[in-house]
Structure formats: structure tokens, C-alpha cells
Amino acid sequence: MKVGTDMRFGSAKPFRRGLRTVVTGGAGFIGSHLCDQLIQRGDTVICVDNLFTGAMRNIRPLLNHPNFSFYHHDIREPLNISGQVDRIYNLACPASPRHYQRDPIATMKTCVTGASNVLELALLKASRVLQASTSEVYGDPEIHPQPESYVGHVNPIGPRACYDEGKRAAETLFFDYHRVHGLQIKVARIFNTYGPRMLENDGRVVSNFIVQALRGAPITIYGSGRQTRSFCFVDDLVGGLELLMESPPEITGPCNLGNPQEFTIEEIARKVIAHSRSISELHHRSLPQDDPQRRKPMIGKAADTLGWRPKVDIDKGLEATIAYFSLSMETNSRDATVASIDTARAARARLPRRRQGRVQTTPAAQAKQEDM
């Protein structure tokens, strides 16, 4: 088994490499970046995805790699993976309200039945397993910022409950398997994450604002715009997931992973307009039900136990994400696979300058902005 080191935090941290790793949801936004990183570190990666929100274009550069394989499968059905499995990252579930509310029953089953199937595979293979949970387990929080000890303020019968309560139930299953079977588990609570490979139509704050700004359309803000979020660039998030997975067995989580720098929704909209050099104006609409007013992680546990802190600031991250969307939209291509900050910026610079003009859109055509 190979041994590597991680130097992102100023000192070498050992990573055991040469592992056989399963990533469910591996063709999605975060999952595909994780697959990239694991392949670069020397793992053999089995990507499992039903492509409900994932896309083959996200993993196309990996398909010819000898250590990568793709398994088209829905984790609501039992997972059959032959051979040794050392690590399992469970990222399978639509994460934006627009997508998880499209089929709320399927979302709940993915969270709960899917988690059960993943845990059964981990038990069979004696694997270490990580659950990608979410800051949505805190609901519309009454404590700010949110520590891992906060039990949340969630509406169990609202339109977001299929995801919020599904993720809470999945955490319960993970800890019960740990207590009953001694399974090595890790639970990460992921806060708002953004970056290249986000879907144009996923209804999240950053992607909505960027697409509208690049089209010169009005930027849709729900509510006053004074509600706050914190945004973590995907590269930082993936590093945190790896560190949590490879932490000592006694570190189970839950562990908040997010950027504690807090912005109002209006501040993010104005940053997107400035970085995209757009003529878009702000357009306010009513706030959706159960939309949280404030969301910000306490990351002391991740900093103290993992040595993890986000490093990409919002301006640099937005530049890379805008460059990615600009490349995809300018070339009218669904195959844009640019991922890194530098390559995204360089690719955008090679494109002809966008002809700016106002695009008229109807309210029904405007993308609905919501957080993860």
C-alpha cells in the first residue's frame, strides 16, 4: 500500500494510498471533483451514479484511466461491488431544492434506503464509510453560527423535509451501525459549496446568479437579500472530506465543513455582477417556505482535529466559477470540463468578448435561487 503526504496546511500529513474506493454520486458536482482527487492520489476508484443530477461529462476525462470505473446504479437498490473495498464516500442524493423537490419520495428513499444499502456494503466489506450530510440538518437555525452540537430547527412536514429529515435519518443510521456493529464511520455536514461543474439549472444561489449575469438578465433575489450564507469553494471542501475520511477511527463526526465567511445574498449578487462585468440589475421576489435566514458554520472541530480550513477566498472562487460557466455558455457545449482556477481563467480569456445586452425573461423562466 502506497503512502502519500498532504502539504496543504504547512506540514506533511500522511495519506494511505493504493486504496480501493467507492464514491456514490461520483458523477455529480462534488463527487466528480472527489474522484479526480482520489485518482491523482493513487486510489482505484469505482464511481456509482444513477445520473439523476450527475453527468458523464463530469467524469469523461477519467473514463480511460486504468484505475477508474463507472457503475450506473441507483443506491436505493442494494449495492453489489466485487472484491475488496477500503473506503466508501456516500455523496448520492440531489442537493438543490429544485431537484430534490422534483421527486420528494425518491429523495427521502435515497437518503434513508440508500444510506442503509451503503452501510450494508461497508459492513460486508469491512470498509470505512463517510456520509456526506448537510447543513440542512440545522434547518432554519435559532443558534448562530451553528456548532455540531446544535440539534436543529427543522420543519418535518414542509417542502424541504424530504431532504432535511432524510439527511438527519441517514446520520442516525450511520451512528447506529457504528454503535451496534462497530463500523468505522465519518459524518461530514457540508455547507454551501460552489465551483466548476455546478449545473446551470440547479436553482442554487451562485449558479443562478452567474447564469443570469452572463445572460444580462435580472438577478433574482428571494426576500430582502439580507439573509446570509457562507460559501466554500469545491477544492477546499474535497480536501476536508479526504482529511475526515483518513482521520483516526475515533473521529466520527459529525464535522462541519464550510467557509465561515458570511455574506448577504445581495452582497453575493453584486460580486457576481462585478466579476462578470454584467449589466444585470437586481429583481426581488417573495421568499420560499422554510428558507433559512442565516447559515454559517462553526469549523473549530475541523480546524482542531483535521487541521482543515478553507483557503480559496470568495473573489478568486467566483472568478473560476464564472469562467467555467462562461466557457460552457459561449461554446454552447455540455462538455466543458475545465476545473481548476488557473485553467478556467485561461480558457475564458481565449473566448471572444461577450456582447453585452439585456435579455428579457418572464418570471416563469427565471431560475429559482435557493441554497444547498
Q: Where are the domains of the chain?
A: 3-191+234-257, 205-228+260-295+311-365
Q: Is the peptide bond before 248 cis (omega within 30 degrees of 0)?
A: no
Q: What is the pLDDT of residues 328-366, one digit of tens each?
A: 887 765 455 544 555 555 555 554 444 443 333 434 334
Q: CB of 31 within 8 A of CB of 88?
A: no
Using alpha carbons, select from 160, 24, 51 the residue that is nearest to residue 104: 160
**DSSP character at residue 303:** I
Q: Please tell me the distance from the alpha carbon of residue 92 to that of residue 100, in angstroms, as a whole number.
A: 12
Q: CB of 84 within 8 A of CB of 42?
A: no
Q: What is the pLDDT of residues 236-290, one digit of tens each?
A: 999 999 999 999 999 999 999 999 999 999 999 999 999 999 999 999 988 777 6
Name the active-site residue from 89, 100, 138, 163: 163
Beta strands at 219-222 and 193-194: parallel, antiparallel or unpaired: unpaired
Q: What is the pLDDT of residues 5-45, one digit of tens each?
A: 443 333 445 555 689 999 999 999 999 999 999 999 999 99
pLDDT at 368 over 60: no
Q: Is the peptide bond before 145 cis (omega within 30 degrees of 0)?
A: yes
Q: Look up the CATH architecture of domain 205-228+260-295+311-365.
A: Alpha-Beta Complex (3.90)
Specify the pLDDT at position 333.
53
Site of grid cell 464511520: 185
Using alpha carbons, select from 178, 82, 171, 184 the residue that is nearest to residue 127: 184
Q: Tell me whether residue 194 is one of the annotated catalytic residues.
A: no
**DSSP-assigned letters across all residues of 315-372:** HHHHHHHHHHHHHHHHTT-S-----SHHHHHHHHHTSPPP--------GGGSPPPB--
CATH number corresponding to 3-191+234-257: 3.40.50.720
Q: What is the pLDDT of residues 207-227, one digit of tens each?
A: 999 999 999 999 999 888 888
